[in-house]
A and B are shown apart, each in its own frame.
Chain A
């Protein structure tokens, strides 16, 4: 699969010397790495290593005290999540954050929000341009439904769906924003083997089909090694390794971090 015609391009996102602390607790200290266009980049590490904090920094939810983030060639100032979204960054969450009472279709439609030009008034009127726009968005959403093979649950409230499918819907909503950079926070957590395999296939397909750059956090080492082009390893807020899966796998520091060292 990886020996394909995929092109890994220039640096899309550059993280330099990021330090983030909450009061006295240092979540990230002096972390640097980059994400190149078109690649699948994994961030791994034991519990509390600062993986989710890292993702939250990228997506503008946390503001690091030190360091700088360069996205698409421009150094980023303090930014809010919705501004990050407007710049083409979409994400999913570790604990599913869908609208439980709404249908799969509506949930994914909500991912199109930033692409909608008509305001509330026009949409409520549902006439002329607003109708046309809605149809366009519905088409995009249907393509995602087809892509993720969730036609059968199109009209089901997501709260009623099994966990694995909810995760898939969440991926669908992130895709609906047509992101340049997709952040996935533990997309495979709590899934059984079959669901994991499906999710892996979807992640690879998203990357392959739409050329979306993906940064993902994952616990399951096997999955990470098969899936990603490059892996960055965090431990206690610090970067301990960075490289291809093979390099990382044989890195002594990483082995120690995962297996523990005798003190």
Chain B
């Protein structure tokens, strides 16, 4: 199926599109210049800029940057939350042929320093004082960035270090520069072509140091265009841009697709107001990692538990009904007239108000990607009538690998290959991809490029998976993480961890078992959900650590683990990898301690080293184990915590447990 569409060609020009973002911006300003392009909530009011205005702003910025010495091929670091000015700065850089390098805004100076130094970014555009401070620390160490442009002038009055300029100044200079050099900008824009590097995105680095993925305009524009066609997005859509600008998902969906399709992007007031802003904007298209959907559901569940009995029983009844009929209605399968009527009634009483509270009233299409989403969570949203789908992709392929077509959505697969994407499964089980979105190279890292990309353009995803009978791809784990127990049983840690994480009480889990006799795991409780559960049962606790050590909490989680074991027992492939022993960690795994990546993926090997005594405990017959760990506080200082953790043994099911499963159901 992929081959038929592959003939269209893999350049923007072949798709009849302008071949760079600056040219797309010109087109948008010319063809629908008075339509809204971007919004930002500032001083409590949504401020809107039309495409025409954005075009003007970006040109001024570009000219200003040119007067500031930015040349073709320069790298420009973009550091901050999603702000219109930062998106414009990206486009302004592209006008001059410079390459924007968005950086994860919450990364600590050391991580950010690596990226800025590696990318050789001599100019950084930062949102505010906080980021400027970080950049100044980086400059001391790496001698980069020499010039820093800031957007928010608050607290910046006393910064008289060299090379610090406000974005407003740049724009003023730009207006002047344009008067003196008419035609300069247009010539620069015309020089840009589809095969040029449009952006450099650093992968979050689950393994080793981050790598700079270079994507061309053709990569981003063709991928974005295919995504738009696949789901029928138009310029009437509304999207909230709230995911890190450094993440490829935001770059394609917020920046790329809004330019290509011409829809309006809204930037939230601050990270803390996203839920309120979501509700005010009511996006028609929503892209989020599973964690966001999980958190939303957790909030709803907790609030419903606290509600009065009328609301609670109404919620219970109609959610039960939705579970039964909602997904069938969404997938246009036959449903009895009574159920259809009740579901319609539920729409007025429960689903509508609920969707409104979540900000999903107008949503036409939702995507989740990045990690596996729990089937319960997935079904919850779909049963409400929300067309939530899964997507499989990575930075190296400009996101798109697999997508779920409408009406063919399954919780445990990631869908069929996206338009123009070819997929093959290597003998090792690894998924290989070829598409117009496949990246050029990693920046200054030919060894890694050669490892990931074959000379004929196939990308090693590093994921192990297989196609099911309907041609949908099913991902089970990272190819290198799939291991075997000592007796040869297949052990896919992520598969087990995800099953655990689908319980609201569990925030994170890390499973061990490769080369061992049995599977054991660490569990991180979810403070909110478990805390609420504890309060309800009058279990008192003073801190995270205390709650995590409560025998009652251990009992609760033992039930969860045993449920997972029952689940695993039902599938002969993984029945042998049931969890034998587990413990609850005394601290939350944290990106600041290097235990998670910035996108909250577990760094398995690092955790294995750091908590070696705990692992040793899990594979001994002791029922307690002691650990001392260093932690990093939010202000950057470090301290140590000690804990004596209990280890529990979970019941395992006989390998052919299909019969027990039936009686349980």
Chain A interface residues toward B at CB < 8 A: 1, 3-5, 138-139, 142-143, 145-147, 149, 151-152, 154, 193-194, 197, 201, 205, 208-209
Contact B43–A205 (Cβ < 8 Å): no
How many whole Å from A229's CB to the nearest CB in chain B?
A: 15
Stretch binding the partner chain, chosen from B153-161, B333-341, B506-514, B523-531: B153-161
Chain B interface residues toward A at CB < 8 A: 41-45, 154-155, 157-158, 269-270, 272-273, 276, 634-635
CA distance A207 to B635 in the complex (A): 23
What are 15 residue pairs bridging A and B, where the CB atoms are less than 8 Å apart in the complex? A1-B158, A3-B158, A142-B44, A142-B45, A145-B44, A146-B43, A151-B269, A151-B273, A152-B270, A152-B273, A194-B635, A197-B635, A208-B155, A208-B157, A208-B158
CA distance A138 to B635 in the complex (A): 34
Q: Please, which residues of chain B bring their CB within 8 A of the CB of A147?
A: 154
Identity of the chain B residue whose Cβ is nearest the Cβ of A145 in the assembled complex: B44
Q: Please, which residues of chain A bring their CB within 8 A of the CB of B635?
A: 193-194, 197
Contact A152–B158 (Cβ < 8 Å): no
Q: How would you classify the secondary structure of chain B's contact residues: helix, strand, loop or mixed?
A: loop
Contact A143–B43 (Cβ < 8 Å): yes
Identity of the chain A residue whose Cβ is nearest the Cβ of B634 in the assembled complex: A194
How many whole Å from B108's CB to the nearest CB in chain A?
A: 16
CA distance A190 to B644 in the complex (A): 31
Contact A205–B155 (Cβ < 8 Å): yes
How many whole Å from A72's CB to the nearest CB in chain B?
A: 25
CA distance A1 to B129 in the complex (A): 13
Q: Please, which residues of chain A bring their CB within 8 A of the CB of B634?
A: 194
Identity of the chain A residue whose Cβ is nearest the Cβ of B271 in the assembled complex: A152
Identity of the chain B residue whose Cβ is nearest the Cβ of A138 in the assembled complex: B44
Q: Please, which residues of chain A bring their CB within 8 A of the CB of B157?
A: 4-5, 208-209
Identity of the chain A residue whose Cβ is nearest the Cβ of B158 in the assembled complex: A4
Q: Please, which residues of chain A bring their CB within 8 A of the CB of B269?
A: 151-152
Q: How would you classify the secondary structure of chain A's contact residues: helix, strand, loop or mixed?
A: helix
CA distance A257 to B635 in the complex (A): 32
Which 9 pairs show the lowest CB-CB distances between chains A and B?
A152-B272, A4-B158, A142-B43, A142-B44, A152-B273, A151-B269, A151-B273, A151-B270, A205-B155
CA distance A139 to B44 in the complex (A): 9
How many whole Å from B164's CB to the nearest CB in chain A?
A: 14
CA distance A149 to B273 in the complex (A): 11
Q: Please, which residues of chain A bring their CB within 8 A of the CB of B270?
A: 149, 151-152
CA distance A109 to B270 in the complex (A): 21
Q: Please, which residues of chain A bring their CB within 8 A of the CB of B154?
A: 147, 205, 209
Identity of the chain A residue whose Cβ is nearest the Cβ of B274 in the assembled complex: A152
CA distance A4 to B156 in the complex (A): 11
Identity of the chain A residue whose Cβ is nearest the Cβ of B159 in the assembled complex: A4
CA distance A145 to B269 in the complex (A): 11
Contact B158–A151 (Cβ < 8 Å): no
Contact B155–A151 (Cβ < 8 Å): no
Q: Please, which residues of chain B bring their CB within 8 A of the CB of A139?
A: 43
How many whole Å from B128's CB to the nearest CB in chain A?
A: 10
How many whole Å from B639's CB to the nearest CB in chain A?
A: 12
Contact B43–A152 (Cβ < 8 Å): no
CA distance A142 to B276 in the complex (A): 16
Q: Please, which residues of chain A bring their CB within 8 A of the CB of B42?
A: 146
Residue of B43, B273, B276 with most partner-chain A CB within 10 A: B43
Identity of the chain B residue whose Cβ is nearest the Cβ of A204 in the assembled complex: B155
CA distance A4 to B272 in the complex (A): 32
How many whole Å from B39's CB to the nearest CB in chain A?
A: 15
Known A1-B158, A147-B154; contact A154-B44, beta-carbon cutoff 8 A:
yes
Identity of the chain B residue whose Cβ is nearest the Cβ of A151 in the assembled complex: B269
12 new A-B contacts, CB < 8 A, other than A1-B158, A152-B270, A201-B155, are A138-B44, A139-B43, A145-B43, A146-B42, A146-B43, A151-B272, A154-B44, A194-B634, A197-B635, A205-B155, A208-B157, A208-B158
CA distance A105 to B45 in the complex (A): 14
Q: Please, which residues of chain B bring their CB within 8 A of the CB of A193?
A: 635
CA distance A52 to B333 in the complex (A): 73
Q: Please, which residues of chain A bring their CB within 8 A of the CB of B276?
A: 152
CA distance A3 to B276 in the complex (A): 40
Known A142-B44, A151-B269, A194-B635; contact A209-B158, beta-carbon cutoff 8 A:
no
Q: Please, which residues of chain A bring their CB within 8 A of the CB of B155?
A: 201, 205, 208-209
CA distance A4 to B44 in the complex (A): 31
Q: Please, which residues of chain B bring their CB within 8 A of the CB of A3?
A: 158
CA distance A1 to B158 in the complex (A): 7
Identity of the chain B residue whose Cβ is nearest the Cβ of A6 in the assembled complex: B158
How many whole Å from A160's CB to the nearest CB in chain B?
A: 14
Identity of the chain B residue whose Cβ is nearest the Cβ of A3 in the assembled complex: B158
Q: Please, which residues of chain B bring their CB within 8 A of the CB of A152?
A: 269-270, 272-273, 276
CA distance A152 to B276 in the complex (A): 8
CA distance A143 to B635 in the complex (A): 27
Known A149-B270, A197-B635; contact A5-B158, beta-carbon cutoff 8 A:
yes
Identity of the chain B residue whose Cβ is nearest the Cβ of A202 in the assembled complex: B155
How many whole Å from B302's CB to the nearest CB in chain A?
A: 15
How many whole Å from A215's CB to the nearest CB in chain B?
A: 22
CA distance A197 to B635 in the complex (A): 9
Q: Please, which residues of chain B bring their CB within 8 A of the CB of A201?
A: 155
Residue of A152, A154, A197, A208 with most partner-chain B CB within 10 A: A152
Q: Please, which residues of chain B bring their CB within 8 A of the CB of A143?
A: 43
How many whole Å from B210's CB to the nearest CB in chain A?
A: 28
CA distance A194 to B45 in the complex (A): 29
How many whole Å from A248's CB to the nearest CB in chain B?
A: 24
Q: Please, which residues of chain B bring their CB within 8 A of the CB of A4?
A: 157-158
Q: Please, which residues of chain B bring their CB within 8 A of the CB of A149?
A: 270
Identity of the chain A residue whose Cβ is nearest the Cβ of B130 in the assembled complex: A201
How many whole Å from A75's CB to the nearest CB in chain B?
A: 35
Q: Please, which residues of chain B bring their CB within 8 A of the CB of A146?
A: 42-43
Q: Please, which residues of chain B bring their CB within 8 A of the CB of A142?
A: 43-45
